[in-house]
Amino acid sequence: MNQKLTLAEKVWRDHVVQQGDAGAPDLIYIDFQLLHEVTSPQAFDGLRLQGRTMRHPELHLATEDHNVPTEGIKSGNLLEIKDEVSRTQVSTLRKNCEEFGVRLHSMGDEQQGIVHTVGPQLGITQPGMTIVCGDSHTSTHGAFGSIAMGIGTSEVEHVMATQTLSLKPFKTMAIEVTGELQEGVSAKDLILAIIAKIGTGGGQGYIIEYRGEAIRKMSMEARMTICNMSIEAGARAGMVAPDETTFEYVKGREFAPKGADWDKAVDYWKTLPTDDGAEFDRVVEIDGSALTPFVTWGTNPGQGLPLGETVPDPEDCGDDNSKATVKKALEYMDLQPGTPLRDIKIDTVFVGSCTNARIEDLRAAAEVVKGRTIDANTRMIVVPSSAVVKADAEKEGLDQIFQEFGAEWRTAGCSMCLGMNPDQLKPGERSASTSNRNFEGRQGPGGRTHLVSPQVAAATAVTGYLSSPADLK
């Protein structure tokens, strides 16, 4: 009888070049590597120093995203980047891509954007693939049923040189989301609730497969939001089994198989979902129908609660370690235990990042702010995750809706997701952000971040306090 396998085990099995003995790493074939300006320079230098070439430059694609400004970009000329370090990073990527023959989408290019939006957008990301990038949020691509993971700089170089990687065996976790999400509850609320439940280390050593009715009903963009934050639970990767929703999204895109190759590919993709009776090392259940909008109050993505709750009291938080962790987070966030989360005043609302700045996210936020006026003491910046998303949004008039509301409409990039470009919080400023990390100083030194969905971000910009659309009159 054939062994019953999970989705992750099937994809792994189909990429083993050489099996490791007794728990030693397997040598795995890598189908595609994505690159950006921050984590690729040392890898290219390494190749150069050893006089090596790239084995498959055509299986690599680079974008400029982390360091690029999101204002004043017209031609993509390097001088449009004022910060010298950022300019050097971007200029180095351009030179490296030219020298090694890697396709690059630069600032000002119509396909430029955050690497985790650009991959799926071009149809590079397909079911059953292995995809890597020197970036934690590569897990996003698992939404298509691929094993996608962030890797270190030396591994980036290894993949460039060999198109393979030594990877340790993993454990499998199923997160079963039962029931349907209620109106007003999004993929972001679900993933924040999952991380709060299993903790930021709960996924360590596992590849998570998100399953169940709520996941099956989600669009590809919502599934990307879920998989994107798998890394925030410490998981090696997150995956969703491919289905008709996946095939429909991939079909017709530039890198998608065509004609007979398409039919062959779909036949293979249909074999990938977890076999009935396959066993996971761990199963976690979460009732999707019981969820309400979720926000973080602390300094890691697992420190979240439903918006209707209050800031926790360290004294109620288990052992001394937990008490100390919560106390430290509240000190940094300048929050008092017992404060209703809805009473937290917000200075800046950021709708952006590879988690939540695709077209559906922008539509959801625009629907909330349409016809309303921004709170007088709050600023809102909206940063599409790619130039294509920006163009699509402008065709639909979303840019007008945001600007009439009082928000700033920017060009694509990582922007305020991390303090590596001009979009940063000032010390002490507090944001409601659709990004994925609320670590101390992540959005700028001294900045305080509350992670939220695009809908909650938009409602917060209306009131100036953490709010959901249901709170608006």
Q: Which residues make beta-bridge pairs with 28?
A: 16, 165
Q: Which residues contact 127 (CB under 8 A, 6 or more apart)?
A: 144, 145, 146, 242, 246, 250, 269, 272
According to CB under 6 A, which one of 28, 148, 156, 354 is a site residue for ligand SF4? 354
The nearer residue to ligand SF4, 389 or 417, going by C-beta atoms, is: 417
Total Cβ atoms within 10 A of residue 315 = 9
In three-state secondary structure terms, 232 is helix
According to CB under 6 A, which one of 208, 224, 235, 417 is a site residue for ligand SF4? 417
According to CB under 6 A, which one of 114, 118, 432, 461 is a site residue for ligand SF4? 114
- State in angstroms the smallest separation of the CB of 208 from ligand SF4: 18
The nearer residue to ligand SF4, 229 or 307, going by C-beta atoms, is: 229
Cβ(458)–Cβ(295) below 8 Å: no
Question: What distance in Å separates the CA atoms of residue 342 and residue 65, rounded to the nearest whole number?
Answer: 33
Question: What distance in Å separates the CA atoms of residue 7 and residue 4, rounded to the nearest whole number?
Answer: 10
Does 448 help bind ligand SF4 (rule: CB under 6 A)? Answer: no
- Cα→Cα distances 175→149, 198, 293, 319, 360, Å: 18, 10, 19, 27, 24
What residues from 185 to 214 belong to the interface with ligand SF4 (CB under 6 A)? none
Residue span binding ligand SF4 (CB under 6 A) among the ranges 4-12, 84-92, 182-190, 413-421: 413-421
Does 63 help bind ligand SF4 (rule: CB under 6 A)? Answer: no
In three-state secondary structure terms, 467 is coil
Does 442 help bind ligand SF4 (rule: CB under 6 A)? Answer: no
What residues from 293 to 322 belong to the interface with ligand SF4 (CB under 6 A)? none
DSSP-derived letter for residue 19 is P
The nearer residue to ligand SF4, 246 or 385, going by C-beta atoms, is: 385
The nearer residue to ligand SF4, 150 or 288, going by C-beta atoms, is: 150
Strand order in the sheet with 282-287: 237-239, 206-211, 171-178, 282-287
- State in angstroms the smallest separation of the CB of 99 from ligand SF4: 24
The nearer residue to ligand SF4, 15 or 66, going by C-beta atoms, is: 66
According to CB under 6 A, which one of 65, 176, 221, 399 is a site residue for ligand SF4? 65
The nearer residue to ligand SF4, 64 or 157, going by C-beta atoms, is: 64
The nearer residue to ligand SF4, 176 or 221, going by C-beta atoms, is: 221
According to CB under 6 A, which one of 10, 15, 94, 137 is a site residue for ligand SF4? 137
- Cα→Cα distances 75→62, 110, 167, 171, 309, Å: 18, 11, 41, 47, 47
Cβ(215)–Cβ(223) below 8 Å: yes
According to CB under 6 A, which one of 60, 66, 158, 448 is a site residue for ligand SF4? 66
- State in angstroms the smallest separation of the CB of 79 from ligand SF4: 23
Phi then psi for residue 164, to 5 deg, are -135, 170
The residue count for binding ligand SF4 (CB under 6 A) is 13
Does 151 help bind ligand SF4 (rule: CB under 6 A)? Answer: no
Half-sphere exposure of 439 (CA within 13 A, CB side): 8
- State in angstroms the smallest separation of the CB of 67 from ligand SF4: 10
Question: What distance in Å separates the CA atoms of residue 101 and residue 103, rounded to the nearest whole number?
Answer: 7
The nearer residue to ligand SF4, 118 or 207, going by C-beta atoms, is: 118
Does 64 help bind ligand SF4 (rule: CB under 6 A)? Answer: no
Question: What distance in Å separates the CA atoms of residue 177 and residue 336, rounded to the nearest whole number?
Answer: 33
The nearer residue to ligand SF4, 164 or 434, going by C-beta atoms, is: 434
- State in angstroms the smallest separation of the CB of 387 from ligand SF4: 15
According to CB under 6 A, which one of 9, 26, 37, 135 is a site residue for ligand SF4? 135
x/- contact string, 422-441, with ligand SF4 (CB under 6 A)?
A: -------------xx-----
Buried/exposed 406-418: b ≥16 CB within 10 Å, e otherwise = bbebbbbbbbbbb
Question: What distance in Å separates the CA atoms of residue 201 and residue 240, rounded to the nearest whole number?
Answer: 20
Q: Which residues bind ligand SF4 (CB under 6 A)?
A: 65-66, 114, 116, 135, 137, 353-354, 414, 417-418, 435-436
